[in-house]
Amino acid sequence: MENNNLIIEINNLCKSYRSFKLNDISFSLSRGEVVGLIGPNGAGKSTLIKLILNIVESDSGEVIFLGEDISNSKNPLYKEKIGYVGEYIDYFPNQKIKNIKRFYQMYFQDWDEQIYQYLFNDVFELSGDMKIKELSKGMRVKFSLALALSHNPKLLIMDEPTSGLDPIVRSKILKILRAYSKENGTAILFSSHITEDMNKIADKLIFLNHGKILGKCQMDEMKKKKCKIDEYLERLIGNEESKYEKNLF
Ligand SMILES: Nc1ncnc2c1ncn2[C@@H]1O[C@H](COP(=O)(O)OP(=O)(O)OP(=O)(O)O)[C@@H](O)[C@H]1O
């Protein structure tokens, strides 16, 4: 049956580097769904994100975004519908953030100034006169998030957005993300080593190791079975052939 809520579908995506292969990755995200990508260092999380964003070219497979195959696409229009928050902003260190914002918003037809002002001023309490180099790590993530959420993305991709942030800031950001996703139907794919964050906002988890998906599961079921994310990952990694269910679903 056709899923009209489908935002993105990844089919059999592959990418080889000299000593690493991201192998046959398939999964999908629906409207309002928050999916956590979890795996040890070097598992391939950032590579997968870069492939979806077309920062690197895939060798094979499909990335179907809102019904269109965007893998290796040269058409930048779909990027208006994808928000991205990485670990760092390191561009234009001497520019004031109000100038960066003015420049950035020109690229988005769907720019929502009201949401931006609300997030920037009321929620994150940032000041437009600060320069990029003057921002703390938490401020950088907040600024990135305010930019990413103000162009009405259908998909928000975040690569370890909360690493290095204090628990209060992390918790605030996660609450905003969850509410935003449920209200606007934005699907969120995010990678993190912080399993506590996954517990707070993820609906589904994808476990990755050595470039392969070891398992997928629904967060509700993990919680119902009192299954700890770290332990589950360890078991999947420790014995890929074990009797332990690879997929709770
Ligand atoms: N441009 C590249 N050329 C060659 N190998 C690369 C390149 N980019 C990444 N790799 C390799 O791909 C593998 C996966 O890296 P990736 O950054 O995707 O992992 P990750 O799961 O995001 O790790 P971490 O949690 O440490 O951020 C690593 O072995 C890395 O060395």
Domain that holds residue 219: 6-238
Looking at the domain assignment, is residue 247 inside a domain? Answer: no
153 within 8 A of 7, measured Cβ to Cβ: no
> Is 50 exceeded by the pLDDT of residue 42?
yes
Mean pLDDT of 185-198: 92
The pTM score is 0.91
pLDDT of residue 235: 85
Label residue 93 exposed, middle or buried (CB < 10 Å: 0-12, 13-18, 19+): exposed
Residue 244 pLDDT class (50, 70, 90 cuts): very low
Looking at the domain assignment, is residue 231 inside a domain? Answer: yes
Is the minimum distance from the CB of 22 to ligand 1 under 6 angstroms? no
107 vs 30: CA distance, rounded Å: 25
Mean pLDDT of 13-32: 96
215 within 8 A of 247, measured Cβ to Cβ: yes
> Is 80 exceeded by the pLDDT of residue 3?
no
Looking at the domain assignment, is residue 98 inside a domain? Answer: yes
69 vs 61: CA distance, rounded Å: 10
Amino acid present at 170: R
pLDDT of residue 91: 77
pLDDT of residue 1: 56
Counts for the chain of helices (H) and strands (E), in that order: 8, 10
Looking at the domain assignment, is residue 246 inside a domain? Answer: no
Contacting residues for 37 by C-beta, under 8 A, at least 6 apart: 45, 48, 49, 189, 190, 191, 192, 206, 208
**Closest ligand 1 atom to the C-alpha of 211?**
14
What are the pLDDT digits (tens) for 53-70?
Answer: 998 999 999 999 999 999
Is the minimum distance from the CB of 45 to ligand 1 under 6 angstroms? yes
**CA dihedral for 84, 35, 212, 193, sign (positive or negative):** positive
What are the pLDDT digits (tens) for 98-107?
Answer: 999 999 999 9
Looking at the domain assignment, is residue 243 inside a domain? Answer: no
Atom 1 of ligand 1: nearest residue by CA position: 17
Looking at the domain assignment, is residue 63 inside a domain? Answer: yes
pLDDT of residue 2: 63
Label residue 204 exposed, middle or buried (CB < 10 Å: 0-12, 13-18, 19+): buried
Looking at the domain assignment, is residue 248 inside a domain? Answer: no
pLDDT of residue 29: 97
Is the minimum distance from the CB of 47 to ligand 1 under 6 angstroms? yes
Q: Is the ipTM of this complex over 0.90?
A: yes
14 vs 92, more confident: 14
Looking at the domain assignment, is residue 57 inside a domain? Answer: yes
Percent of the chain with pLDDT over 90: 64
How many domains would you assign to the chain? 1
Mutate to test the pocket of ligand 1, among 15, 20, 237 (most ligand atoms within 8 A of CB): 20
Say which CATH number the domain at 163 has. Answer: 3.40.50.300
| Cα–ligand 1 centroid distance for 211 (angstroms) | 9
| Cα–ligand 1 centroid distance for 15 (angstroms) | 11
What are the pLDDT digits (tens) for 130-183?
Answer: 999 999 888 998 999 999 999 999 999 999 888 878 888 888 889 999 999 999
129 vs 172: CA distance, rounded Å: 23
Is the minimum distance from the CB of 44 to ligand 1 under 6 angstroms? yes
Return mean pLDDT, the chain: 89
85 vs 150: CA distance, rounded Å: 12
